[in-house]
Structure 1
Amino acid sequence: MKELVVSKNVFVTDDFSQAMKVGDLLYLSGITARNEKGEILEKDFEAQTVRIFKNIESILKEAGAVLDDVIKFTVYLKDINNLGKFRELRNQFFSAPRPPSTAVEVTGLVPGAIVEVEVIVDCGKR
């Protein structure tokens, strides 16, 4: 059975779901640094990445999960040279062992975004 998961603290649109829980797994859409109004106020990579992790945290809270429940990352970067910085920032939010991760360089994201993160979460631990 599928269950929609929504955080009002993160931008919500009718175009796609923030997250969908299927069994014990939670699948998040690509999360950007948008605030609840859909605006990306942060311009630099570090600030956008921190905002993304806070947005992810907010969605996970709605599902009764925490960051350590993440089991897979996919990160989309407009500049692959930011991958090292992404890892440093990720390591501030996630303890070892860290989840498997895929990084993809892309030519474009939503206007203003320079990084986007998609995660899969195991909610069965809680």
Structure 2
Amino acid sequence: MKEIIATAEAPAALGPYAQAVKVNDTIFVSGQLPLHPKNHQMVTGAIGAQTEQVLTNIRSILEEGGAHLNDIVKVTIYMKNLGDFDEMNRVYELFFPNSDTSTNLLPARSTVEVARLPRDAAIEIDCIAIVTNDYMTPELF
């Protein structure tokens, strides 16, 4: 069964698509930009602040669908400048700490450089999550 997931705690879609779609226990989160959910303004400044906003938006969408960041199995990151990779990774690690990989909480991930993103954002992230309700550690951020 297909269910549309929508929350006011993340920015509305910029086009004719859902924030996320849930099919059975799988949630497909559409690409999220560093937009503030209340005023729909782009978070500006360093890539770290933008990455934090994107991941906060994703967390809100997942929570609306009954999932958490720990349920994510695949992440795709689109960046305008891979020169910002290290700074983006520092913030990403706050949401997905890898100090203990034995807990298997880290999702698979791809990061690609792109020529342009909507609203000239510096980063966009989408993901896939499997709702397990089996958490080995609490949310850390």
TM over 0.5: yes
Q: Give identity over the alignment, percent.
A: 29
1:80 to 79, 82, 86: 82
Note if contact 1:68-1:95 (Cα within 8 Å) is conserved in structure 2: no
- Name the structure 1 match of 2:26: 25
Structure 2 matches for 1:88-107, cutoff 5 A? 88-96=90-98, 97=101, 98-107=106-115
Greater displacement, 6-15 / 111-120:
6-15
Note if contact 2:26-2:130 (Cα within 8 Å) is conserved in structure 1: yes
- Write the deviation string for residues 30-88 of structure 1: whole angstroms up to 9, x where unpaired: 00111223210323211100011111111111011111111001000000112222222
CA distance in 2, matches of 1:33, 1:62: 19
SS of corresponding position for 2:92: helix
Q: Measure how far apart 1:125 and its partner are.
A: 3.4
SS of corresponding position for 1:60: helix
CA distance in 1, matches of 2:88, 2:94: 10
Larger Rg: 2
Q: Structure 1 residues 112, 43: CA separation in 2 closer, same or farther (over 3 Å shift)? A: farther
CA distance in 1, matches of 2:116, 2:40: 17
In structure 1, stretches of 5+ residues that fail to align are none
Q: CA RMSD in A?
A: 1.5
SS of corresponding position for 1:16: coil
Structure 2 matches for 1:1-126, cutoff 5 A? 1-13=1-13, 15-36=16-37, 37-96=39-98, 97=101, 98-125=106-133
CA distance in 1, matches of 2:86, 2:36: 25
Note if contact 2:43-2:53 (Cα within 8 Å) is conserved in structure 1: no
SS of corresponding position for 2:34: coil
CA distance in 1, matches of 2:97, 2:84: 20
